[in-house]
Structure 1
Amino acid sequence: MQASLVSALQLSELGAQVFDCRFSLADRDAGRAAFEGRRIPGAHYADLERDLSGPIRADTGRHPLPTPDLWLKRMGRYGLRTDTPIVAYDDGAGVFAARFWWMLSWMGCEQVSLLDGGFHQWTKAGLPMEAGEDRRKITPTALMLDADSALQVDAGAVHNALDSDATLIVDAREAIRFSGEQEPLDRKAGCIPGSVNRHFAQNLSQGVFKSADELKSEFALLLGDRDPTEVIHSCGSGVTACHNLFAMEYAGLHGSRLYSGSWSDWIVDPARPIEVQYAG
């Protein structure tokens, strides 16, 4: 997978296809409202739940992946082309944009970058904006791409890895959720047994990504002697985990995988073990 960043100034000169991925778990309409309020000119809006997720069922987490065919059909409606650069952004941290990046990379589309610092950096640079409802007439595209199943794992693979010291499960949630002290979003608190915590915000410094060298050093300490291919990324629902995965790829640590269902999927089956580190 290729992971690259562009600055606001670079994006303004790039002529890329731009996707606005702003979203709020606390207010599901806030992202669309922000998009219509102010956005980067020419951007399309990619909604976490309407575009970047599939239907929720009793046996899924909060943001299951759509089927590859459904995902390609959705992106085709936006006229997505694979022959020109694609840039995704959100408010700033990049978590929702990273989910968009991973999903296109999953389909073999490698020309996807993140706007470093997101919309905040675009605004800070004083670059042009547009506003209002997007009324463009878009010519749909028929995307012929294939999903790479090796880039993700399911709950069964994670369960099988619990008995292996070789596999490292990295959880991107806040420490207070990882430890089980608080759980504002899911029915159960805690973490997958044996997993380690690296909150996605540790990939950032002053609102932008740390350098590739700095990220490589930090993840090397976390991995120890393990190869990057032995890392599985998790979080609450498969969103912020993509941020850690992007950071590893950007740092040159290639081949880690995503548990797309993550914690909200793990706890669907009461037979799966959980660990609560918070002692109260």
Structure 2
Amino acid sequence: MPFLINVNRLKNRLDNNLDNTVVIDVRFDPNDPDAGRKMYLESHLPGAVYLDLEKDLSGKPEKHGGKHPLPDMNLFAAKAGNIGIDHDTTVVIYDQDNDMFAARLWWMLHILGHERTYVLEGGYNRWTEEGYEVTAELPELKAKKFRASRKENQIADIEEVKEKLDRDAAILIDSRSRNRYLGKEEPLYPKAGHIPGAKNYFWKDLFKENGTWKKNGELEEHFSSLPKHTEIIVSCGSGISACPNVLALKMAGYEKVKLYPGSFSDWISYEENEVATKEE
């Protein structure tokens, strides 16, 4: 199933069927949490509504659970309805470029059963490169009833990760850069390295040299060492950059895929948990 949409197709939808398409801007800068909203207010795709990674797509961090825990998904479903999403709505999510935040929202809607959800290939940058219109005008939102149909077995918590790694019942992958995976650098957390047993699949390796997403066949080749019959649990630092890998695995035909939302930031919040720094 395709999970991407190009800017030309989106332009056509907006020109012909705006009432049945909700466009969501999720631009975000981890070093400046207000930057994404400021960019949105300055200019965004016509009709787009803004959702914030930390205010809308994450819950409040606690001692355990990771830096970006999931929000209350019932409240999030209500928020989706308030911005105009129902069963028949096509949702298109964009980032500044092919960044990780659009995939996070795609995954959240995906696990709530909304199938007509797409990530905009190339994001805001690609839209403007094509010369398409942007605006500072805020949209008038029409609330609808979002009926969530939550998909089971899409999320793994720390206990499941431990249990399945102990008996080799799943493969854990780490979506962060190789240097962070190997513990050579760690800009965000007090410990460096990875969850013991995790294999490294850097999320940015999902893209070609020209910056576009790899096609389904190329993604199958990219993940060719991972058997499709085995469950795959995807992690990263805090459950954000793991989401492009979840999307890509689905595009490549993998069905047994889960996200560990807490990821490395949750793992190291327990002092007894070991951290590895060698290739696995």
Compute the displacement of 1:12 (Å).
Answer: 0.4
CA pair 105-38 structure 1, distance change in 2 beyond 3 A = same
Compute the displacement of 1:139 (Å).
Answer: 3.1
Task: Output the CA distance in 1 between the equivalents of 2:203 and 2:28.
Answer: 16
Tell me which residue corresponds to 1:243. Answer: 244
**5+ residue gaps, structure 1:** none
Tell me which residue corresponds to 2:35. Answer: 30
Compute the displacement of 1:3 (Å).
Answer: 4.5
Read off the aligned partner of 2:116 and give its amino acid letter. Q
Asked if the contact 1:172/1:200 (under 8 Å) is kept, the reply is yes
Kindly report which structure 2 residues correspond to 1:114-193, keeping only aligned pairs within 5 A, or say none: 114-131=119-136, 134=138, 136-193=139-196
Tell me which residue corresponds to 1:61. Answer: 66
Alignment coverage as a number of residue pairs: 272
What's the C-alpha RMSD, in Å, of the aligned pairs?
1.6
Asked if the contact 2:194/2:277 (under 8 Å) is kept, the reply is yes
TM-score by length of 2: 0.92
Compute the displacement of 1:123 (Å).
Answer: 1.1
Compute the displacement of 1:94 (Å).
Answer: 3.3
Please give the per-residue CA displacement for 1:86-140, whole angstroms capped at 9, x wherever unaligned: 11010112310000000001101110011111111111111111125x2x44233
Compute the displacement of 1:49 (Å).
Answer: 0.5
Asked if the contact 1:5/1:115 (under 8 Å) is kept, the reply is yes
CA pair 118-229 structure 1, distance change in 2 beyond 3 A = farther
- Once structures 1 and 2 are overlaid, which stretch shifts more, 30-39 or 96-105? 30-39
% identity of equivalent residues: 37
TM-score by length of 1: 0.92
Read off the aligned partner of 1:175 and give its amino acid letter. R
Asked if the contact 1:93/1:201 (under 8 Å) is kept, the reply is no
Task: Output the CA distance in 2 between the equivalents of 1:3 and 1:275.
Answer: 36
Kindly report which structure 2 residues correspond to 1:1-280, keeping only aligned pairs within 5 A, or say none: 2-14=1-13, 15=17, 16-131=21-136, 134=138, 136-205=139-208, 206-221=210-225, 223=226, 226-227=227-228, 229-277=230-278
Asked if the contact 2:171/2:230 (under 8 Å) is kept, the reply is no
CA pair 152-165 structure 1, distance change in 2 beyond 3 A = same
Task: Output the CA distance in 2 between the equivalents of 1:90 and 1:38.
Answer: 13
Task: Output the CA distance in 1 between the equivalents of 2:245 and 2:38.
Answer: 28
Which secondary structure state, in structure 2, belongs to the residue aligned with residue 86 of structure 1?
Answer: strand
Task: Output the CA distance in 2 between the equivalents of 1:3 and 1:52.
Answer: 23
CA pair 157-186 structure 1, distance change in 2 beyond 3 A = same
Asked if the contact 1:234/1:258 (under 8 Å) is kept, the reply is yes
CA pair 200-228 structure 1, distance change in 2 beyond 3 A = farther
CA pair 137-125 structure 1, distance change in 2 beyond 3 A = closer
Task: Output the CA distance in 1 between the equivalents of 2:176 and 2:117.
Answer: 24
Compute the displacement of 1:228 (Å).
Answer: 5.3
Task: Output the CA distance in 2 between the equivalents of 1:81 and 1:37.
Answer: 28
Task: Output the CA distance in 2 between the equivalents of 1:127 and 1:149.
Answer: 39
Which secondary structure state, in structure 2, belongs to the residue aligned with residue 18 of structure 1?
Answer: strand
